[in-house]
Each structure stands twice: as structure tokens, then as C-alpha cells.
Amino acid sequence: MPTVRFTTALKRFFPSLKEHQVAGATVAEVLEEIEALYPGIRDYVVDEQGRLRQHVNIFLSGELIEDKEALQDKVGEKDEVYVFQALSGG
């Protein structure tokens, strides 16, 4: 199963957040599994239309995902999914 890792910034809101191996053939499905483990976390990553938030990045085994609208990038059994925050100022 793919492995999901998160920026430590999200631990502020989900203190027990840790790396997981979850089922899912697409990034959206992987996120669905994570939502079941940490209710509410999906709203931190995507907006109400399901689009990746503007200042959040998801990397799939080192590459930025291509589909930021519906998160339909295919995820392989050995893939690693990283949920990061984009860099910003202020």
C-alpha cells in the first residue's frame, strides 16, 4: 500500500498525525482514507470543490501531482505521497 507523509505544520491541528500506509489507487482515494483516520483533515488540504488548496503541494514519489483539480493521479503500491505546505512570506 502507498505510504503517506505530512508536513509537521499539520500536527498543530492534528497532534496525533503520523505516517500511514493506506489503500487507494488515486491521490483522492488516499486522501479519503486519511480523512477517515483524522476527520476534518481533508478540508485543510482541498477546498469544498475538492481542488488542492493554492498553497498546498502534494508530491507523488518526488513529483508534484498533475491533477490539482480532482486529484486523480494514479498511486502505485510502492508510491510515497507527501502532503506539504508551499513556502510563503510574512
Partner 1 sequence: MKLLTGTSKGLVVYHRVSGSWKVDKVHFTGMPVSMVYVDPRTNTWWLGLAHRHWGQKLHFSVDEGQSWQSVPMPRYPEGAEFRPGRPATLKKIWCMQQAGPNRPGGLWLGTEPGGLFYSSDNGRHFELVESLWNHPSRLDENQWFGAGRDYPFIHSIVVDPRDESHVYIAVSCAGVFETRDGGQSWEPRNNGLVAAYLPNPAAEVGHDPHLLLACNANPDVMWQQNHCGIFRTTNGGQSWDNVTGVNGFPNYGFALAIDHEDPEKAWVAPAVSDEMRVAPGLALCTCRTEDGGRTWQAQRNGLPQEHCFDIVFRHSLAKRGPVLAFGTTTGNLYLSEDYGDNWACLSAHLARVDAVTFA
Binds partner 1 (CB under 8 A): choice among 8, 19, 62, 86 = 86
Q: Which three cell numbers stand for residue 67?
A: 491533477
**Among residue numbers 44 through 83, which ones bind partner 1 (CB under 8 A)?**
44-45, 47-49, 51, 53, 55-56
> For partner 1, which is the closer residue by CB, 44 or 59?
44
Is the Cβ–Cβ distance between 82 and 75 less than 8 Å?
A: no
Which residue type is seen at 53? Answer: R
Which DSSP string do the residues of 33-77 spell out, in sequence order?
Answer: HHHHHSTTTHHHHB-TTSPBPTTEEEEETTEE-S-TTT---B--T
Size of the site for partner 1 (CB under 8 A): 18
Q: In the complex, which residues of this chain contact partner 1 (CB under 8 A)?
A: 9-10, 13, 40, 43-45, 47-49, 51, 53, 55-56, 85-86, 88, 90
